[in-house]
């Protein structure tokens, strides 16, 4: 079983739609959770950190459920420019370090 | 440009040759990571440095791979006797110290093609 799992999609949605992605992680001792965005043939860039109480940044809302070991990302009012791959990242304990560990990403395509 | 810099951006090499990639992290960042990414997959962790110390290595990292960060600044990743399966994007990331919630910033990557 992979340490961080995501549905690869693609999620194909019209402009203005609301779309949600989930990500599950296997290590209950994981600390720190993030969503990164990666455009085609570009490097990953931080979209938002995920806090225990949940957090919102404009049209984006992230939630963490430690009991069920999953993270979610909700995008409201989708824009064409939201088309990208969304990577779930969990810092997982390895030795004395916490290593950012990536899921395989969920592809989002927003169409007119 | 004060971001993470990687060199070269692209490398084509023949099977069996050695290649070396360089990463210059953001100057005040003491944590440095190497990842490998293939099409349709997320970045896979290879190795981690804190300052000049290599603290973690993935089981994915075979004996043909070696990484250094001699002065705690730039890092190099060498692949010896390259194989076609080594073809991938090699990404470097850096982050500041100060807990586990710090953001990792990525370079643009080195795309390796082994022919």
Query: pLDDT tens digits for B70-83?
Result: 988 999 999 999 99
Query: pLDDT tens digits for B19-60?
Result: 999 999 999 899 999 999 999 999 999 999 999 999 999 987
- Whole-angstrom distance, CA of residue B42 vs CA of residue A87: 7
- Whole-angstrom distance, CA of residue A77 vs CA of residue A19: 9
- Whole-angstrom distance, CA of residue A100 vs CA of residue B83: 27
Who has greater pLDDT, A30 or B30?
B30
**Can you say whether the dihedral through the CA atoms of B87, B92, B93, B96 is positive or negative?**
positive
The pLDDT assigned to B100 comes to: 64
Q: Which helix (H) or strand (E) holds B10?
A: strand B10-13
Please choose, from the candidates B14, B2, B29, B37, the residue with its C-alpha nearest in 3D space to the C-alpha of residue B104.
B29
- Whole-angstrom distance, CA of residue A42 vs CA of residue A55: 26
**Measured between CB atoms, which of B41, B45, B105 is closest to A99?**
B45
CA distance A4 to chain B (A): 10
The reply to whether B101 touches chain A by the CB within 8 Å rule is yes
Q: What is the DSSP string of chain A?
A: --SEEE----EEEETT--EEEEEEES-TT-EEEEEEEE-TTS--EEEEEE-TT-EEETTEEEEEETTTTEEEEEE-S--GGG-EEEEEEEEEEETTEEEEEE---EEEEEE-
**CB-CB neighbours of A91 under 10 Å:** 22
Pairwise CB contact (< 8 Å): A104 & B109: no
Pairwise CB contact (< 8 Å): A96 & B55: yes
The reply to whether B7 touches chain A by the CB within 8 Å rule is no
Structure tokens at B23: 């990463």
Which of B31, B40, B41, B43 should one mutate to test binding to chain A, selecting the residue with the greatest count of A CBs within 10 A?
B43
Q: DSSP label at B102?
A: P
Q: DSSP label at B86?
A: G
State the average pLDDT over residues A28-56.
92
Q: How many contacts does A have with B, using Cβ atoms within 8 A?
A: 56
């Amino acid at each position: 079983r992979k340490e961080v799992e995501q549905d690869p999609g693609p999620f194909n949605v019209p402009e203005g739609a609301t779309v949600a992605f989930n990500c599950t992680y296997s290590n209950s001792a994981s600390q720190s959770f993030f969503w990164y965005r990666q455009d085609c043939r570009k490097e990953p860039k931080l979209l938002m950190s995920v806090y225990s109480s949940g957090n919102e940044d404009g049209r984006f809302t992230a939630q963490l459920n430690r009991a069920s070991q999953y993270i979610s990302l909700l995008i409201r009012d989708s824009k064409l420019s939201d088309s990208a791959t969304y990577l779930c990242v969990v810092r997982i304990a390895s030795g004395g370090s916490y290593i950012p560990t990536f899921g395989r990403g969920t592809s989002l395509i927003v169409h007119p | 440009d004060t971001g993470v810099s990687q060199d070269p951006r692209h490398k084509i090499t023949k099977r069996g040759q050695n290649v070396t990639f360089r990463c210059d992290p953001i100057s005040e960042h003491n944590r440095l990571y190497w990842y490998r990414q293939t099409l349709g997959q997320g970045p896979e962790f290879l190795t981690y440095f804190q300052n000049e110390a290599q603290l973690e290595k993935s089981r994915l990292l075979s004996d043909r791979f070696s990484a250094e960060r001699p002065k705690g600044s730039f890092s190099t990743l060498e692949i010896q006797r390259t194989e076609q399966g080594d073809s991938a994007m090699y990404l470097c990331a850096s982050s500041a110290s100060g807990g586990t919630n710090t953001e990792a910033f990525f370079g643009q990557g080195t795309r390796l093609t082994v022919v």
